[in-house]
Amino acid sequence: MSFTSARDVHLAAGARGLSVAGDLMAATTLALTLQSAGAGGFAVSGLMLAGVLPLVLLAPLTGRVVDRVDSRWLLAGVGLAQAAVCTLLSFVGTPLLIIALVTVIACGLALTQPALAALLPAMVGREDLPRAMALSQTATSIGALAAPVLAGVLVGQFGARVPLLLVAVMFLGLAAAGLLIRTRRGRADGSPAREAPSTPPFRYWRDPLLGAITVAISGVVLGVGAINVVAIFYLRETLHASTTAYGLIEALWAAGLLAGTWVTARVVRRMRDDGALVYGTLCTLAGTCLAIAAMAVFPAVVWVAPLYLVGGFFNGGLNVQQNVLVARRVPAASHGRAFAILVGWVQGASLTGYALAGFMLEALAPRTLVFALGTAGALVCALVAAPIVRAIHRERRPVAPVLAAT
């Protein structure tokens, strides 16, 4: 693999993996600790909300900060602050204080996610961007898979302090990576990077393709967020899967995601037209939803397992395409704001899905919900298809030359 700035790409991918792994490992450790200490469901729920809400609520602010502040000092400063907070968490036992400190860590994640995403387009050329995104997504997926497992093992063996101190070391690694990355964004004086004088200020929602595809992604993620809750009951109670089978099936989604990430990176690299990229994004969204809906048709776990692999494959393709689309269509000076908006909408949709799942399970059977959520996501894709096609046709329509009067 050859990048224009291979060292920086690998450092940024590693930093993102450490950031995500640290956040998830801290959340898992603290959730297990609160539950073991006899804290109620509200305490654990509050902990989970504290880890996600800052990414949603602070998106407009964090995006502007990312575009204004020197990325080197932003990543280093946030990493050091998160390490300090995590060290403090290892000595705290009060639920309210734990939730408050987790909120601070999540505020840091709300800054580092768009900062690292915005750095990648500055590190590589247009052709190498899909592979760079795939590498970053791979590191993120590995971190997300390893963190909960490692947290569970360490909490069982040593209690909460050891895993939380390990998370602090991870955040120190993020700070070190920020200092080692040579590519820089933002300005050292804190003023925003300027676009060309003839270019009007960028507005995310004025781009019809970005707006429509963001709404579609959010609609699908809302359903997938709910599925993450519903699937436990569907696989374990409806299909009578063992705990081992459930774990293996969930791992198939992650395996499919990694495969889809790299296959899509090779395909996207050949796409010169944003319209083709948007069509591809819409197809991966629809494919994910149809795979979920099809899970409700089969009577046994053995038939559902391949669909998890297929759904994960489309999910991996979606992750690469959405990030490449934002990087291509948004001016470099506004990448931080754009990625923060995308992350905010996706996280908000996921959080809403988690919240609605509990109410839906009270009213409907798990099999019915799996089919309904998958079908609803596919309908969202169908609804946004028409405005997306019109917007692409307008962009591709040749502009008639203006003849000078003689």
Tokens of residue 325, six digits: 């689309």
Q: What is the pLDDT of residues 68-102, one digit of tens each?
A: 889 899 999 999 999 999 999 999 888 889 999 99
User: What is the mean predicted confidence (pLDDT) over 367-377?
Assistant: 91
Nearest to 288 by CA among 264, 308, 268: 308
Q: Is the pTM of this model over 0.95?
A: no
Q: Which residue has the higher pLDDT, 213 or 355?
A: 213
- pLDDT of 237 reads 83
Flag whether pLDDT at 226 surpasses 70.
Answer: yes
User: Using 50, 70 and 90 to split pLDDT, how confident is the model at 188?
Assistant: low
**Average pLDDT of the chain?**
84
- Same fold for the domain at 1-190 and the one at 203-397? yes
Tell me how long the chain is: 406
- Which of 77-86, 180-189, 255-264, 393-402 has the weakest average pLDDT? 393-402
Q: How far apart are CA 189 and CA 325, in angstroms?
A: 30
Flag whether pLDDT at 66 surpasses 80.
Answer: yes
Q: Which fold has domain 203-397?
A: Growth Hormone; Chain: A; (1.20.1250)
Which phi-psi region, left, alpha or beta, contains residue 398 (left: φ > 0; alpha: ψ -120 to 50)? beta
- pLDDT of 403 reads 46
Q: How far apart are CA 272 and CA 280, in angstroms?
A: 13
For the chain, the structural domain boundaries read: 1-190, 203-397
Q: What is the pLDDT of residues 5-18, one digit of tens each?
A: 788 999 999 999 99
Flag whether pLDDT at 393 surpasses 60.
Answer: yes
**364-to-233, 247, 288 alpha-carbon distances in Å:** 12, 24, 22
Tokens of residue 129, six digits: 């961007």
- pLDDT of 187 reads 65
High-pLDDT (> 70) share of the chain, %: 91
Q: What is the pLDDT of residues 17-57, one digit of tens each?
A: 999 889 888 988 888 888 777 766 677 778 878 888 888 88
- Which of 77-86, 265-274, 332-341, 373-382 has the weakest average pLDDT? 265-274
Q: Does residue 338 contact residue 346 with C-beta atoms inside 8 Å?
A: no
- pLDDT of 402 reads 45
Q: Which fold has domain 1-190?
A: Growth Hormone; Chain: A; (1.20.1250)
High-pLDDT (> 90) share of the chain, %: 22
- Which of 101-105, 163-167, 206-210, 309-313 has the weakest average pLDDT? 206-210
User: Using 50, 70 and 90 to split pLDDT, how confident is the model at 172?
Assistant: very high
